[in-house]
């Protein structure tokens, strides 16, 4: 049973093929419009979402399928009945499950016990659909992914871990500029080294120096969903890691700025950079739709 839980378990060739397909789906929006005919995609979300929810629902509709949305609490995910029972019942009704969860283990458990493809729509450790849209955006705005330098200024979180893996698989250089104590953890390092190998992403603590050769500067919120109790500490620790005009001036003139959104303007990024000519954040948000159409097509075509 194919799943899309993280990028580390997907072959580089598949990722490249999905990006090609996403570009084709974007170029002609009528492409694939019956690919999911008769298929039902269920979305179960424990956390809020704009982009992931709406782009998956729109993608499903544009491919001829139907989507159903369930807030995790309402459907009783993880507390009303055991996860394996939940997974087995859902598998009898729908054809694909998109999950947004607190714990990555919940995503793994539903993939293990269900009988339908599972897509990770964000967990505490991974946001693979975001990374696919990010790579599509880099490809469009930087003339390809291979050989490019992506500098993530911020937290070693779900978004940066997935993008680091995508870059490793597709031959881009990934640099994380973060405060001490907020880099990738040992579990990620071990997994990356075993499954990708080569050079591990560079970890730097001086953001101004880190962006000197950047083709892309990327940032995300300093406090992810579920970390709200750490907000005050994080605001202090990340204060020097804001993507602002001074930082951007240290990067090459062609450098683009990405952000997965939602943005906390005035915290991790300034209004000026968000609205400036280097910013491609809304193209990036749009690309969630096209990248996910490619993923849904692949998953449901394989399972046919």
- Whole-number Å distance between alpha carbons of 191 and 209: 28
CB of 209 to ligand CP, least distance (A): 28
CB of 102 to ligand NVA, least distance (A): 10
Q: Which is nearer to ligand CP, 196 or 273 (CB)?
A: 273
Residue 50 binds which of ligand CP, ligand NVA, none (CB < 5-8 A, kind-dependent):
ligand CP
15 contributes a contact to ligand CP by CB under 6 A: no
Q: Is 117 helix (H, G, I), strand (E, B) or coil?
A: coil
CB of 121 to ligand NVA, least distance (A): 10
Residue 172 binds which of ligand CP, ligand NVA, none (CB < 5-8 A, kind-dependent):
none
- Whole-number Å distance between alpha carbons of 149 and 147: 7
CB 131 within 8 A of CB 166: yes
DSSP 8-state class, residue 243: B
261 contributes a contact to ligand CP by CB under 6 A: yes
Q: Which residue has the tokens 């809304």?
A: 282
CB of 100 to ligand CP, least distance (A): 7
Q: Which residue has the tokens 């990010």?
A: 134
CB 62 within 8 A of CB 293: yes
Question: How far from chain centre, in Å, is Cα 304?
Answer: 26
Residue 158 binds which of ligand NVA, ligand CP, none (CB < 5-8 A, kind-dependent):
ligand NVA
224 contributes a contact to ligand NVA by CB under 6 A: yes
Catalytic residues: 100, 127, 130, 220, 260, 288
């Amino acid at each position: 049973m194919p799943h899309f839980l993280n990028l580390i378990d997907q072959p580089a060739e598949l990722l490249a093929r999905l990006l090609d397909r996403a570009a084709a789906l974007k170029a002609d929006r009528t492409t694939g419009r019956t690919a999911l005919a008769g298929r039902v995609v269920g979305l179960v979300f424990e956390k809020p979402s704009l982009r992931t929810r709406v782009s998956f629902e729109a993608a499903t509709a544009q491919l001829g399928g139907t989507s159903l949305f369930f807030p995790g609490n309402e459907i009783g995910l993880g507390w009303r009945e055991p996860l394996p029972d939940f997974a087995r019942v859902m598998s009898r009704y729908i054809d694909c499950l998109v999950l947004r969860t607190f714990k990555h283990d919940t995503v793994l458990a539903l993939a293990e016990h269900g009988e339908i493809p599972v897509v990770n729509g964000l967990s505490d450790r991974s946001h693979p659909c975001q990374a696919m849209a990010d790579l599509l955006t880099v490809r469009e705005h930087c003339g390809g992914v291979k050989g490019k330098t992506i500098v993530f200024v911020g937290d070693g979180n779900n978004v940066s871990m997935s993008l680091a893996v995508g870059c490793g698989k597709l031959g881009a250089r990934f640099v994380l500029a973060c405060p001490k104590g907020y880099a990738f953890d040992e579990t990620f390092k071990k997994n990356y080294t075993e499954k990708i190998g080569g050079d591990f992403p560079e970890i730097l603590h001086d953001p101004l120096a880190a962006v000197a050769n950047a083709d892309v500067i990327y940032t995300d919120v300093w406090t992810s969903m579920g970390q709200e109790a750490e907000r005050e500490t994080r605001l202090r620790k990340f204060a020097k890691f804001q993507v602002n005009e001074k930082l951007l001036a240290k990067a090459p003139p062609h450098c683009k700025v990405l952000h997965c959104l939602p943005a906390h303007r005035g915290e991790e990024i300034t209004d000026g950079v968000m609205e400036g000519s280097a910013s491609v954040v809304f193209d990036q948000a749009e690309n969630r739709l096209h990248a996910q159409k490619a993923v849904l097509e692949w998953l449901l075509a394989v399972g046919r």
